[in-house]
Structure 1
Amino acid sequence: MTDAQIGIAEASGKRGRARFVDIGRAFAAQVPHAVPQLRSEQLELVDPARNPFFGHARAQLFVATRGGRDVGRISAHIDELALQMPAEQGFGPGAGMFGYFDAEDEAISHALLSAAEGWLAKEGMTRALGPISMSIWEEPGLLVRGGDHPPRIMMGHHPEHYAAWIESAGYARVKTLHTYQLDIPRGFPPIVQRIVQSGERNPRISVRHVNKARWDEEAETVLGILNDAWSDNWGFVPFTPQEVAHAGRKLKPIIREDLNMIAELDGKPVAFMLTFPDINDVLARTGGRLFPFGWLQMMRWLRHPAGSDMRVPLMGVLKELHNSRLASQLAFMMISAIRDNAYETYGSTLGEIGWILDDNRGMVAIADAIESEINREYAIYEKPLGGGNPGPEAKKRPPPG
């Protein structure tokens, strides 16, 4: 086969999006330890009518063919909010992205990356970053370490050779993200226990469960803290009100009140920690299918996810408390309460924290203090694009409202 026999086509509309998703599912099925996800959820993520990410973003999906077969896929997308962020925080003017990267071989991977780069350049972008599938809050980065065990909920999982293919196309790593694994039954070091006990004696501090009966309000509180706490981080893009409402609805079925905490100082919410039972446990057993019988297992799991591993995908403390002893104390108090409940109520033995930026010294220090260990590493790559002058479509496009 020669490179000339590779065809790259745009995928659009309902049928094109379904084809794009099914190509990804076929590739995932070949990756060791990958966990099949719900097809309906994957379709929603790439549907502009159903994913509020597209309220401030635009994308083009591509599929690769050779010899009449589908042999790869990629997305190229532009987040208008990311373009408005300071360049020193990773995105900023001219920052386009690629994601949902799958390819059968290196030649196909280069053809797909070239197609994504061409679309981004036409839209006026001067850099391509990725893989980011598709919002930075969904699946950022390429798995480059930790593929020897199954991914947790909402984490990407990729073949180890993709990194070499991306790098050989002229990309360089621009950011590293880690997840940390925690042995839940093992107690915390004495110094952490003392910090937690000191906080529990402080009348100004309270750590409470979220209230699922008023979950919409709680989700707004949590994501409001998140937008403030993470605003100086690399890659930050704020959640919009539409995304807050959407995320609240999507997460509600898996929210367990005793695993999700809000910390208050003098009655004001100042920190939060979200913990999700790992739905991949049940998806692995059902093959990612709800019918004909998978829904029974899913319903039982949703009622009580006994024995499930846990993942802490998000936590944050208001920026006004950053670099203070109180910030780490609140984090330790929430981690301690959630860890106790995960073990005593659900029998969980493993937890995963992250992702965490490798240069986020505060979070890395907390992860080290509770004696968790890095178990996965994700890389985000960057490549300059030629030209950089806005294309006709970019010039005509009005600023985001």
Structure 2
Amino acid sequence: MLKTATFQIQTVKTPADNELFLDVPKLIYAGDPHWVQPLRSSIAKNFAPDNPFLQYGKLQQFIALSTGDRPQAIGRIVAAVNNRLIERENQNVGVFGFFECVEDFEVAQALLNAACQWLKEQGMTVARGPIDLSTHNNCLLLIDGFDSEPIMMMPYNPPYYPKFMDKDGWQKAKDAYAYKFGLKQDFPGEFERGYRIASKSGVTFRPMRLKGKEFEEDCIKLYHLFNRAFVNNWSSSPRTEAEFLAEAKELQSIVDPDIFPIAECDGEMVGFFMAIPDYNVPLKQVNGKLDWLGILKLLWYRRKIDRVRVIAFCSLPEYRRKMVPLAVVHLGLQGANKQNKRYEWAELSWVYEDNDASRKLIEAGGAKIYKTYRIYEKAL
């Protein structure tokens, strides 16, 4: 691998290498008041032998190490081939993700080159990222809106990352936005009218169920609805039902059913509004570890959660004329404003720049763009 007078790039081969890989963000974000350290275990599981991704893809981790008597990990990146994405797009597109780097362009360029070279050796003709294996995981690079901490499951990075990408010749593939809107306000009457119209047309509404078999039944229905409603999402690769259920169970304990209404018609799930409390508020106090002290901190600081992230809302196409999208938004906002709730504002993220239908509905409610993200591409 590459070696210079000040650093070297090498593949991750041993458990010790992997520990260095996982340690990189602590160096990059030391002293950054907005960074929220993700749970170390949630990152490590991506590289475990039992990761379902390895059944249909492959990956390679790289780290940058400083030279000298005490080598230090100063950067990292992962290159990956997601065969489901290749089948979906009918082109040999590889991805890079988990990118972190000190403010040194030569190190960043060397890491990006290592990832691209590996992808090229696998027969890829296009590199795209940052995408952590798939867009169902962490993806996107923050390019505007560095003045606040990220909402749960949204990326955050130093302002110099996009400058490095531009300097290395990467091109914009697509931008995405995060919208912010206050919850303690009067919302346009169209949303409530949409709810009345949907109800009169035979659509019924209820909260997401969170216990036992009922939770699993709702998740299976959500899985099939996701597959129908978001089948054409850009750069998205399909998940199995087992993968979807595993991801859902990780979030089960933090779901607030008041902000997760579901629409049904004749027993079929036809729409939903999916929002979760921003657990980044307590996670910021945990420092990446849920040991006994971390759990106590999580339980204590979760009482201070005052915001939510709206991940998605949708309905099947044939129910849009019955105003189901407006109805589930109305119910989600109504739930967030119940008397016992502390929610002050919400982020709706992410929304691709060319998703005109969703953007129109979001902006009709008074939401404003406050963060911009980007996915890049480069021909190999």
Give me the TM-score of the superposition, normalised by structure 2.
Answer: 0.92
Number of aligned pairs?
371
The residue type equivalent to 2:54 in the other structure is: F
The residue type equivalent to 1:374 in the other structure is: I
Residues in 1 aligned to 2:307 and 2:231: alpha-carbon distance in whole angstroms: 29
Equivalent residue number for residue 393 of structure 1:
none
Residues in 1 aligned to 2:263 and 2:15: alpha-carbon distance in whole angstroms: 43
1:41-88 superposed Cα distances (whole Å, 9 cap, x missing partner): 221233242x323332211000001222211000100111000013xx
Query: What's the secondary structure of 2:346's corresponding residue?
Result: strand
Query: What's the secondary structure of 2:285's corresponding residue?
Result: helix
Residues in 2 aligned to 1:242 and 1:190: alpha-carbon distance in whole angstroms: 40
Identity of aligned residues (%): 27
Change (3 A) 1:17 1:368: same
Consecutive unaligned residues of structure 2, counting only runs of 5 or more, are: none
The residue type equivalent to 1:149 in the other structure is: S
Residues in 2 aligned to 1:195 and 1:203: alpha-carbon distance in whole angstroms: 11
The residue type equivalent to 1:153 in the other structure is: M
Equivalent residue number for residue 79 of structure 2:
76
The residue type equivalent to 2:342 in the other structure is: G
Equivalent residue number for residue 5 of structure 1:
6
**Contact persistence 1:307–1:346 (CA under 8 A):** no
Find 1:366's aligned residue among 361, 365, 371.
361
- Pairwise mapping of residues 165-314 of structure 1 onto structure 2 (< 5 A)? 165-200=164-199, 202-213=200-211, 214-300=214-300, 305=303, 307-314=305-312
Residues in 2 aligned to 1:97 and 1:234: alpha-carbon distance in whole angstroms: 14
Residues in 2 aligned to 1:115 and 1:362: alpha-carbon distance in whole angstroms: 39
- Deviation of 1:189 (Å): 1.4
Residues in 1 aligned to 2:262 and 2:125: alpha-carbon distance in whole angstroms: 41
**Contact persistence 1:17–1:47 (CA under 8 A):** no
**Contact persistence 1:306–1:346 (CA under 8 A):** no
Range that drifts further, 93-102 or 290-299 = 290-299
Query: What's the secondary structure of 2:284's corresponding residue?
Result: helix
Find 2:88's aligned residue among 68, 85, 89.
85
Change (3 A) 1:17 1:381: same
Equivalent residue number for residue 25 of structure 2:
24
- Deviation of 1:182 (Å): 1.6
Residues in 2 aligned to 1:333 and 1:234: alpha-carbon distance in whole angstroms: 26
CA RMSD of aligned residues (A): 2.0
Residues in 1 aligned to 2:321 and 2:29: alpha-carbon distance in whole angstroms: 43
The residue type equivalent to 1:27 in the other structure is: I
Equivalent residue number for residue 332 of structure 1:
326
Residues in 2 aligned to 1:39 and 1:266: alpha-carbon distance in whole angstroms: 43
The residue type equivalent to 2:335 in the other structure is: N
The residue type equivalent to 1:331 in the other structure is: P
1:85-142 superposed Cα distances (whole Å, 9 cap, x missing partner): 13xxxxx321000111112210000000000000000000000001112321111210
Change (3 A) 1:270 1:8: same
Consecutive unaligned residues of structure 1, counting only runs of 5 or more, are: 87-91, 386-401
Q: Does 1:151 align with 2:150?
A: yes
Residues in 2 aligned to 1:154 and 1:125: alpha-carbon distance in whole angstroms: 28
The residue type equivalent to 1:85 in the other structure is: R
- Pairwise mapping of residues 27-176 of structure 1 onto structure 2 (< 5 A)? 27-49=28-50, 51-67=51-67, 68-86=71-89, 92-104=90-102, 105-176=104-175
Range that drifts further, 168-177 or 27-36 = 27-36
The residue type equivalent to 1:179 in the other structure is: A
Residues in 1 aligned to 2:256 and 2:30: alpha-carbon distance in whole angstroms: 30
**Contact persistence 2:9–2:63 (CA under 8 A):** yes
Residues in 2 aligned to 1:369 and 1:276: alpha-carbon distance in whole angstroms: 22
- Deviation of 1:249 (Å): 1.8
Equivalent residue number for residue 342 of structure 2:
347
Query: What's the secondary structure of 1:97's corresponding residue?
Result: strand
**Contact persistence 2:271–2:328 (CA under 8 A):** no
- Deviation of 1:211 (Å): 1.2
Q: Does 1:381 align with 2:376?
A: yes
The residue type equivalent to 1:342 in the other structure is: A
Give me the TM-score of the superposition, normalised by structure 1.
Answer: 0.87
Change (3 A) 1:153 1:14: same
Change (3 A) 1:29 1:337: farther
- Deviation of 1:320 (Å): 4.5
Give structure 1 regions of 4+ aligned residues with deviation exceeding 6 angstroms. none
- Deviation of 1:241 (Å): 2.0
